[in-house]
Chains A and B, each alone.
Chain A
Amino acid sequence: MNRIGKIIGILGIAGYVLLSVRGYCDDAVTYRLKWLFNASVAGDLYADAQGVFTAHKLDVTVKEGGPERDAIKELELGYAQFGVASADQVIRAVSMGSPIVVIAQLFQKNPLHWVYRSGKIAINSPLDFKGKTIGVTYGGNDETIMRALMARFGLAKGSVNLYSVRYDYTPFYEGKVDLWPVYINAQGVIIREKLEKSGEKVAFFSPDAFGVRFVANSVITSRKLLDEKPELVNRFRQALIEGWQEAMAPGNAEKTIAVLRQFDKDTPLTTVREQLAETRPLIQPGSEKDIGQIDVAAWEQTEHIMLDQKLIPGPVHIAQILKGNLKTD
């Protein structure tokens, strides 16, 4: 009994020392993504797989997102320290008292577009929506964006036929729906490939191009972590942005593709290549914008859209939770 007690004691001390050393070397944090592993999270995966996090003395567990995952809730419950959420999620959460802050904006342009058959219809502006059947996910941010576009261009409710979309694209393939919401750098590539194979021409409608700048994925953390460990938050942000910079550099394309293939084995190489090419201009549309930069005006517009559509009960003064001015050097 005495011997067993000694062994347990030694093991306990050894475990404590090991954990302490690990804690000293690397800060262990969990990073919950918004969606499944694909080109939209290329920089996050790159930072993990290529050792960028480790170089910044961070032990990051990158967790895949999905339709039922909510990084904001996980931050509050302590299951994650960092996460990715869309702006509408963030604004809704802040309006309900969630203590979160935004530390970087991943997409400078929203990847949400509407795909249509350009050989059959011409969409030069939202005014061309009149009489068309347009897919929206009721309750989703695509519905909010479409309604904002309609309001901006004075389209009456009855002038377009909104169609409830789900997981599969059959109604679009069958031609029942004229415009279908897709993420241009994910499903958009796959749908384009399929339709082009069958000899059809497709194009994508970008709400951003017509003044609706509804912010998409951004990196969040809790206000508590920022107040208590600003250095850790800063280090994480810096590592993440480095990861994205390296992943988006055209010279690193093959390395980034290899990382993506490591996590997403089902998507064919050619598709991944195209998805990555479509992701680049969304993350860094031009030299005037830095990767991770928070577009305050776009956030404020997003808040106004949500207020106009009564998706939040009152203003949240979103600029107050945008903490993009952390040191990055």
Chain B
Amino acid sequence: MFHKRLQQFVLVYAAGVLSLILMKYLLHLSDYVIPGPLEIWHTVLSVFVRYLWNVADTLWIAVLGHLISIFLAFAIGVAGRRASWIGSLIRAAAYNIQAYPMVAVAPIIFILLGDGLLARLLIAVMICYFPLLLSVISILSEPVDSVEHFYEATGRMNWRLQVRIRAYENIHKLTTVIVGSATMAMVGTIVAEFVAADAGIGYSIRIALYQSDLSKILAALFLIGISTSLYLTALEWAGDVVERKFQV
């Protein structure tokens, strides 16, 4: 699975880099605007190991943030699934907070948590959690009439049973949502590092941008792509395992 995803990513990435290089030579652009292939290669060699560590640093925060987001989204999603005023309030809060630009919220987070690991984690969770929550609410608020009707008619329905039925019947949708939100966790962590941290690949990209060094940015994007592919493959595998277990 990873092999296939990796091949696809490398293909897309190579196509992107080749079009940039083509544009460079067609428009006679200097290495400052678009670096040449040799320049890119030398930069990749010089920053590869350092950036690999940076990406690993980003990835573990993204994974941790994603796990926290999943836990929170399910915990609050269970409460928010009902058409009550609490459910409506949670949905409204989710939509509003999702609309806030992180650069505006970041200073408040720094005041509360400083600028270390916690701030990075919180920003990652904030970016990943709300889309996940809305999907979970949407899935868990959809009644499975064919099954639920029986328990309701016999008076045996309670909220735990309702959640279990809906989760079981929508297990594929839920695993797809979780896998999909992994990219949001990665994006959230990189954004957090860009605005709030002094570690991780987002921070390295920020420095490369200050130095107008596209080669470094291309190297960083390559490693981000590889690590995201790796994480998505791991999640897809875990999702398959869970689905198979439920089917049994």
Contacts and interface: CB of A to CB of B under 8 A. Distances in A.
Interface of A: 67-68, 70, 72-73, 76-77, 89, 92-93, 96-99, 137-140, 164, 166-168, 170-171, 311
Instruction: Tell me the dominant secondary structure on chain A's binding face.
Output: loop
Given A76-B33, A96-B31, A164-B198, 6 more contacts: A76-B27, A92-B212, A98-B30, A166-B196, A170-B107, A171-B115
B111 A170 contact: yes
A97 B111 contact: no
Interface stretch (B120-128, B177-185, B202-210, B237-245): B202-210
Contacts of B107: 167-168, 170
A317 B6 CA distance: 45
A167 B103 contact: yes
B209 A138 contact: no
B211 interface: yes
Closest 10 A-B residue pairs measured CB to CB?
A139-B207, A139-B210, A168-B107, A96-B32, A96-B31, A164-B198, A93-B32, A98-B30, A97-B30, A98-B32
B235 interface: no
A99 B30 contact: yes
B106 interface: yes
B195 to A, nearest CB: 6
A306 to B, nearest CB: 11
A68 B209 CA distance: 8
A93 B115 CA distance: 33
B147 interface: no
B29 interface: yes
Interface of B: 27, 29-33, 35, 103, 106-107, 110-111, 115, 195-196, 198, 206-212
B238 to A, nearest CB: 35
Contact of B212 (A77, A93, A138): A93
B212 A137 contact: no
B102 to A, nearest CB: 11
A98 B198 contact: no
Contacts of B211: 92, 139, 311
Contacts of A140: 210
Contact of A89 (B35, B103, B206, B212): B212
Contacts of B31: 96-98
Instruction: Tell me the dominant secondary structure on chain B's binding face.
Output: helix
30 contacts: A67-B209, A68-B209, A70-B212, A72-B33, A72-B212, A76-B30, A77-B29, A77-B33, A89-B212, A92-B32, A92-B211, A92-B212, A93-B32, A96-B30, A96-B32, A97-B31, A98-B30, A98-B33, A139-B206, A139-B208, A139-B209, A139-B210, A140-B210, A164-B198, A166-B106, A167-B103, A167-B195, A170-B111, A171-B110, A171-B115
A72 B32 contact: yes
A170 B196 CA distance: 12
Contacts of B207: 138-139
B206 A97 contact: no
A290 B209 CA distance: 33
A311 B212 CA distance: 12
Contacts of A73: 32-33, 212
Contacts of B196: 166
Contact of A168 (B30, B33, B106, B212): B106
A166 B195 contact: yes
A139 B207 CA distance: 5
A169 B196 CA distance: 12
Most chain A Cβ neighbours within 10 Å, of B195, B196, B206: B206
B106 to A, nearest CB: 7
Contacts of A97: 30-32
Nearest to A92: B212
A72 to B, nearest CB: 6
A145 B207 CA distance: 16
B95 to A, nearest CB: 26
A168 B103 CA distance: 9
A164 B197 CA distance: 8
Contacts of A92: 32, 211-212
A208 B107 CA distance: 31
Contacts of B210: 137-140
